[in-house]
Structure 1
Amino acid sequence: MEQKILERPAGAAEDWTIPQDWTSYTADEHAMWDHLFDRQAAMLPGRVVPEFMDGLDVLRMTKPGIPDFEELSERLYKLTGWQVVAVPGLVPDRLFFEHLANRRFVAGRFIRRPDQIDYLQEPDIFHDVFGHVPLLANPVFADYMQAYGEGGLRADGLGAIDNLARLYWYTVEFGLIRQGGDLKLYGAGIVSSYGESVFALDDPSPNRIGFDLRRLMRTRYKIDDYQQSYFVIDSFEDLLRQTVENDFAPLYRELESQSDLAPADLLDSDTVIHQGTQAYNRTKELP
């Protein structure tokens, strides 16, 4: 979300979309998708929200091979009016928001190499499609994503993209939810990562904090490792309500006078579900 100025790659349309060119994927690339899919599908049931597993099923994403965006979009559009469009990589902020506001989810068309199986910096098709698309079949979450895009266009005009990017990061990418008394995964960055799918729920290291919009927008995040704090929503309906009903302009002005919080910080006002040891992060800081 927080990006340098990008230049449109050759061959991309003005909105930065490109053909997926599904027929060009090799057998090895399809096999990589299947390996990643099978690994996640085996460990996510019971850990991820049921809405995610339902999305995999209703969109027929359980069949082998990299999904064809045209077929995937046809099924998704009938459910919630969303489409999946291919892009060459990261896109400029405003274009990203415009796509979301118009119910288009941008996805990279490339898939990681075998040496990148557990980590790569730029999101690939497995992260974008496996991680994000199943929840777009859920009407409430689909509405939240559109509302976020509309909010992004407003934030762009107010110079507040950094604050809003934190909302995306700590919900869409790395969000947890409380369902039936248990914590469940829903953020795409978690559900597409084998290691973080375990770390986010089971490891004693990270904080798990009740969702608070203002607090979250003050909190920096890590882009290259497991998170030091996760924010827990009560429901998709509540997340959507807070996004739609809040006037973010006064909130952005309020945040201008407040200092940022480090990813591991805890406040007296926090609803602390689990106070993390931060042991994992400390091992990373050792020389």
Structure 2
Amino acid sequence: MSDVWRRTPIAADGTLGAAAEHPGRRDPLYLARRHALAELARGHRVGDPSPVVEYTESEQATWRRVHRALDDAHRAYACRAVLDAREEVRVPADRIPQHAEVGARLRRLTGFDFTLAGGVVENERFLGSMARGYFHAVQFVRHPAVPLYSPEPDIIHDVFGHGIHLAAPEFAAIYRLIGQAAVRVKTEAALQIISDLYWFTLEYGVLEEGGTPKAYGAALLSSSGELGRLDRSRIRDLNALDALATPYEISGYQPVLFAARSLTHVADTLAAFLSDLDDDSALRLRPHG
């Protein structure tokens, strides 16, 4: 979970509200459970096995409900590459998969694996680990009162978004491209530029298929509510400088999305920009960091 999620758009099915008002931020029992699962990541070294979690029946019920909703939403709004990758990763409908189960499948398909996160991970570690084939994923589940939306990434987001991505070589190559760029730079300004491009592509990207915007970004894939309003988003052609100049929306659905013609177009756009990015050029783009 990258620190870009400190600025996550607040999206809910039907209504919008401040993140602080979400029941997952105010329910003491839920917060205790979330904290206990997050604590399992304390001292975790990238690549070490994740502990097994015994999920509660309430958590399993939330997973099953979201799985049903996302099945329908993906068929309607996800791009072909996502639908094909989803077949490969085989997301179980009846239960929450363990990190080891998802990781074993991903390793066979693309060489990627989940590594444990408890919450926000600093950009250097989060992005840089992708160069080594690791994606930081959490184990806690969103609050059951609002199962179709979470104000932060949870295991549903990580499996239905990044887990599906990392079953496909084309997606995995983009993650590695971003990770390789991150390990070449040292400054927070440069890392934040890479993080922002990650946000507008791998989290919130869309592809034009047959003249229709289709989702591939992980944040979209894990929110049936936001998928259902793709036709109301302002969609611009993918351009790295335009994306970097676009502010994040912090109190509603993400208003501006960037569309590419294909995943190859996404990779080529990022590669062309990131190949010239270094710490000095980052300061010219973001003079105040």
Do they fold alike, i.e. is TM over 0.5?
A: yes
Alpha-carbon spacing, 1:112–1:14, altered in 2? closer, same or farther (3 Å): closer
The answer to whether the aligner puts 1:174 opposite 2:204 as a matched pair is yes
Conserved 8 A contact 1:17-1:87: no
CA 1:85/1:57 → structure 2, altered by over 3 Å: closer, same or farther?
Answer: same
Q: Is the 8 A contact 1:121 1:224 kept in 2?
A: no
Return 217-226 or 152-161, whichever deviates more: 152-161
What's the TM-score once normalised by structure 1's chain length? 0.79
* TM-score normalised by the chain length of structure 2: 0.78
The size of the alignment, in residue pairs, is: 253
After TM superposition, the structure 1 = structure 2 runs for residues 1-287 of structure 1, keeping only pairs within 5 Å, are: 1-2=2-3, 12-15=42-45, 20-157=50-187, 159-199=189-229, 201-203=230-232, 206-245=233-272, 246-249=275-278, 251-256=281-286
Aligned-partner residue type, residue 270 of structure 2: T
**2:40–2:51 contact (8 Å) kept in structure 1:** no
1:75 Cα offset (Å):
1.5
Tell whether the 8 Å contact from 1:155 to 1:164 is kept in structure 2 after alignment: no
The answer (yes or no) to whether the contact 2:82–2:216 under 8 Å persists in 1 is yes
SS in 1 for 2:170: helix
Identify which range, 25-34 or 217-226, moves more after superposition: 217-226
Q: 1:214 to 1:11 in 2, by over 3 A?
A: closer
- What root-mean-square deviation, in Å, do the aligned CA atoms of Structure 1 and Structure 2 show? 2.6
Structure scoring higher RCO (CA < 8 A, sep ≥ 6) equals 2
- The whole-number CA distance in structure 2 between the counterparts of 1:73 and 1:225 is 33
Residue identity in the other structure for 2:82: F
Q: 1:24 to 1:72 in 2, by over 3 A?
A: same
**Percent identical:** 28
Unaligned runs of 5+ in 2: 7-37
CA distance change for structure 1 residues 179 and 254 in 2, over 3 Å: closer, same or farther?
farther
Q: For structure 1, which runs of at least 5 residues remain unmatched after alignment?
A: 260-287
Instruction: Return the alpha-carbon distance in structure 2 between the equivalents of residues 21 and 224 of structure 1.
Output: 35
Give 2:247's aligned amino acid: R
